[in-house]
Amino acid sequence: MKLDVSVLRLLSKDDFRVLTAVEMGQRNHVIVPIPLVESIAKLKWGGTHRCLRELLKHKLVHHENRNYDGYRLTYMGYDYLALRTFVQRGSITGIGRQIGVGKESDVFEATNEDGDVLILKLHRLGRTSFRAVKTKRDYLRHRNSFSWLYLSRLSALGEYAFMKALGQRGFPVPEALDQNRHAVLMSLVKGYPIVQVHRVQNPNKVYTDIIRCAVRMAEVGLVHCDFNEFNVMIDDDEEITMIDFPQMISVRHPNAKHLFDRDIECLIKFFQNKLHYDPEEDESLECVRPDFDEIVSRSSEGQGGGTGDGGDVCQGPLDVELSASGFQARDRKILSEHVAADARGSEEEAASSGEESEDNVDDEDDIPAYDKSGGGSADDAPASVDDDEARREMARRAEGVADASNQQEGRDGGKDAELGTQAFGQSGQGAPHKEVQQWARSHQRRRVKKQQRLKLGGRNTNKSKNEKRKGGGGGEFVF
Ligand SMILES: Nc1ncnc2c1ncn2[C@@H]1O[C@H](COP(=O)(O)OP(=O)(O)OP(=O)(O)O)[C@@H](O)[C@H]1O
Ligand SMILES: [Mg+2]
């Protein structure tokens, strides 16, 4: 997704005020009714309408007039709110070129006032996640309400927390610098993903270093879950750095052993097929396939049998740190459900045809959004309003007016009030989000059409699209 940061210069304080008002309104509404945006933003002389038009022009909000007139944030609107927060905190002073397009993220270079090059990772869950539509539907069915923006925020929160905790334990990871909404700021790793390397001087050492990392992580109670050639960086001295941690899970997760073994198998295959080094034939290796159960029982014995409160074995110290960083057990549970669904999805995908596995979500902005928790935490919400008191006042209005508006919608037929109040984490029960269901259905229709097109007229892979994307973020922008 293109991030046109030059638009930041064109946006006024009022525009950001209204964008923040939409974000706050989304705490209680999937689509925020215009009167609610107006009452939160409290701009005079129709200022809110003017700003909404401007925001819509730049695709920072999405307009919908199905059941009532309203707006919701797009990923780009969310990007801008996070960027502005980083600028206001002094964490960054500029954005550079896009250096990576991940499965579920866009990665940019950024600079700070010392001129250091940093990495800004914007999480974009939902971009490719509906590849295995059926699995995802099953997953959604068990969620009360759902939001990709909310999951992206959790993902960023998780990545930041894990990166910080692992860094403090001496793991080779980038330095976690800042986090806001769905964005994580980290130090630049001077190297390349090992998937881009065709030959290493010392494969035995590189393999051993990577496996040691996986083992040490299991010893502190974690499984990476995506520890493969795409998420291990290697530098010119063949030192490795791990990246990409939002999906990490506890060793006590029911799927932990399966995912640990899957990570190791992927790595072995990569070394065999791409680096032409077969760990299974190297007798000098200490360990080719670490035994997950043995690591867990050894390390739990070493810690006196766990946390003592019936919690996760080996999780004591990390749990304390993760809680302190705001990444709570509930967040981890939600994310690990997403990981488990993803893992099942990938396996189904692998079993299905190659064509299908390359399918993608066509319209990245066409995401279903939002839920109560998705509007951002106390940390997130005030990002774009300068004055503290004004921010608090806006937050109070958002709560108060939303309640009144929900009641009004209840009288008006209740359909959208249901969407608005069936919030993630509020009751934990109930039907899946109707918008998500609709979206999944329309996505599946698009996918079927796309497959028909492919059958009729040759293959149209996502490669060119990705290349286009990579080209899209070029140039440097100083705030
Ligand atoms: N700290 C960093 N320093 C340098 N490059 C980085 C850093 N973090 C990420 N990148 C680059 O961005 C790419 C994508 O990052 P990352 O793996 O974290 O995202 P992702 O969405 O999970 O991607 P994928 O699904 O492909 O694994 C990486 O392959 C790497 O090239
Ligand atoms: Mg990755």
Q: Give the pLDDT of residue 111.
A: 94
CA of 230 to the centre of ligand 1 (A): 8
Q: Is the pLDDT of residue 234 over 80?
A: yes
Q: What ligand is nearest to the CA atom of residue 100? A: 1
Q: Give the pLDDT of residue 126.
A: 76
Residue 116: which pLDDT band, with cuts at 50, 70 and 90? very high
End-to-end CA distance of the chain: 20
Question: Looking up tokens 């299991």, which residue turns up?
Answer: 218
Under a CB-based contact definition with an 8 Å cutoff, are residues 180 and 85 in contact? yes
- Three-class secondary structure assignment of the chain: CCCCCCHHHHCCHHHHHHHHHHHHHCCCCCCEEHHHHHHHHCCCCCHHHHHHHHHHHCCCEEEECCCCCEEEECHHHHHHHHHHHHHHHCCCCEEEEEEEECCCEEEEEEECCCCCEEEEEEECCCCCCCCCHHHHHHHHHCCCCCCHHHHHHHHHHHHHHHHHHHHHCCCCCCCEEEEECCEEEEECCCCEEHHHCCCCCCHHHHHHHHHHHHHHHHHCCEECCCCCCCCEEECCCCCEEECCCCCCEECCCCCHHHHHHHHHHHHHHHHHHCCCCCHHHCCCCCCCCCCHHHHHHHHHHHCCCCCCCCCCCCCHHHHHHHHHCCCCHHHHHHHHHHHHHHHHHHHHHHHCCHHHHCCCCCCCCCCCCCCCHHHCCCCCHHHHCCCHHHHHHHHHHHHHHHHHHHHHHHHCCCHHHHHHHCCCCCCCCCCCCHHHHHHHHHHHHHHHHHHHHHHHHCCCCCHHHHHHHHHHCCCCEEC
Under a CB-based contact definition with an 8 Å cutoff, are residues 154 and 322 in contact? no
Q: Give the pLDDT of residue 417.
A: 28
- Cα separations (Å) of 238 from 19, 167, 201, 344? 45, 19, 8, 33
Q: What ligand is nearest to the CA atom of residue 128? A: 1
Residue 9: which pLDDT band, with cuts at 50, 70 and 90? confident
CA of 193 to the centre of ligand 2 (A): 9
Q: What ligand is nearest to the CA atom of residue 106? A: 1
Better-scored residue on pLDDT, 412 or 25 = 25
Under a CB-based contact definition with an 8 Å cutoff, are residues 365 and 74 in contact? yes
Torsion of CA 297, 301, 302, 304, to 10 degrees: 140
Under a CB-based contact definition with an 8 Å cutoff, are residues 170 and 447 in contact? no
Show the tokens assigned to 459. Answer: 């293959």
Q: Is the pLDDT of residue 420 over 90?
A: no
Residue 389: which pLDDT band, with cuts at 50, 70 and 90? low
* Catalytic one of 15, 79, 178, 226: 226
Better-scored residue on pLDDT, 5 or 296 = 296
Nearest ligand 1 atom, CA 186: 1
CA distance 72 to 29: 9
Average pLDDT over residues 199-216: 96
Better-scored residue on pLDDT, 477 or 101 = 101
Average pLDDT over residues 200-228: 94
Better-scored residue on pLDDT, 105 or 315 = 105
For domain 7-74+365-421, give its CATH number from 3.40.50.300, 2.40.50.140, 3.90.1150.10, 1.10.10.10: 1.10.10.10
Average pLDDT over residues 110-116: 95
Q: Which residues line ligand 1 (CB under 6 A)?
A: 99-100, 102-105, 107, 119, 121, 174, 186, 188-189, 193, 230-231, 243-244
- Supply the residue whose CA is at minimum distance from atom 21 of ligand 1: 102
CA distance 347 to 246: 20
Q: Which sequence spans correspond to the domains of the chain?
A: 7-74+365-421
CA of 203 to the centre of ligand 1 (A): 22
Q: Is the pLDDT of residue 269 over 60?
A: yes
Under a CB-based contact definition with an 8 Å cutoff, are residues 104 and 155 in contact? yes
Say how many CA atoms lie within 13 Å of 66 toward its Cβ: 10
Better-scored residue on pLDDT, 420 or 106 = 106
Residue 380: which pLDDT band, with cuts at 50, 70 and 90? very low
Pocket test for ligand 1, best of 75, 243, 360, 463 (most atoms within 8 A of CB): 243
Average pLDDT over residues 428-432: 30
Residue 258: which pLDDT band, with cuts at 50, 70 and 90? very high
Q: Give the pLDDT of residue 156.
A: 93
Q: Give the pLDDT of residue 101.
A: 84
Q: Give the pLDDT of residue 447.
A: 58
Instruction: Collect all residues with Cβ–Cβ distance below 8 Å to 352 and sequence separation of at least 6.
Output: 132
Show the tokens assigned to 242. Answer: 């791990």
CA of 459 to the centre of ligand 2 (A): 26
Please confirm, yes or no, whether 362 is among the known catalytic residues: no
Better-scored residue on pLDDT, 443 or 14 = 14
Q: Of 19, 1, 25, which is closest to residue 374 (Cα–Cα)?
A: 25
β-bridge mates for residue 222, sequence order: 250
Convert 435-457 to b/e letters by CB count within 10 Å (16 or more is b): bbbebbeebeebbeebeeebeee
CA distance 278 to 269: 8
